[in-house]
Amino acid sequence: MKEDVVPDHRTSPIGIADQVRTLGPEPVRIQLSINRETRGLDVEPRVSLLDALREHLDLTGTKKGCDQGTCGACTVWVDGRRVLACLTLAISCTGHEVTTIEGLADDQRLHPMQQAFRKHDAFQCGYCTPGQIMSAVALIEEGHAADDAEIKEWMSGNICRCAAYPNIREAIREVRDQAEEGGHATH
């Protein structure tokens, strides 16, 4: 492994490629804050956040659908922002807060969106449900749930092969309306 010292680019004649510390292919130790708990793990630098969660940390709620960033089944939050875990390197999440479906509930009480999905039967097979729920909560926080057209647009990155879309929108509307009435955030 190259030396950890990185020269100052303002005073060094070395090119930027020479300044970057090369990691891998051997595993490196990283610390991730997952669901408000710091977890250490040894992973190759090219391991995706999705694989780190599922294979190294045994957090299997986040699903592997397409592994290409097109289905949304692997949606999690990094610092409150939704990301596709299959396209995010685990090492890039060091120093950031990662929230998965397992961290959404408060103690043993389901999050209002999880409750609404159950109430409105907003899932069929359930495979896409964790990613759908994580996106649904985020889109309300982002202010993108004004009407069905906006919900459809901002949820378009989450595919439901069982076509439970009307029920998903109903669940989102319910939580949106509860949040507006109560004046509280959904996170």
Q: What is the mean pLDDT of residues 22-36?
A: 89
The single residue listed with the structure tokens 């994580």 is 134
The single residue listed with the structure tokens 């303002």 is 10
Q: What is the mean pLDDT of residues 32-45?
A: 96
> How would residue 182 be classed by pLDDT, with cut points 50, 70 and 90?
confident
Residue 81 has pLDDT above 60, yes or no: yes
Coil, strand or helix at 12:
coil
Query: What value does the mean pLDDT of the chain take?
Result: 89
Q: What is the mean pLDDT of residues 77-87?
A: 97
What does the pLDDT look like over 106-131, one tens digit per residue?
Answer: 888 999 999 999 999 998 899 999 99
pLDDT in the model for residue 15: 52
Half-sphere exposure in the Cβ direction for 9 (13 Å, CA): 6
Structure tokens that stand for 163 in this block: 């076509």
Residue 185 has pLDDT above 60, yes or no: no
What does the pLDDT look like over 150-166, one tens digit per residue?
Answer: 999 999 999 999 999 99
- Kindly list the distances between the CA atom of residue 82 and the CA atoms of 17, 22, 94, 98, in Å, as whole numbers in the listed order: 30, 28, 16, 10
Cα(137)–Cα(151) distance, rounded to whole angstroms? 11
How far, rounded to the nearest angstrom, does the alpha carbon of residue 95 sit from its chain's CA centroid? 15
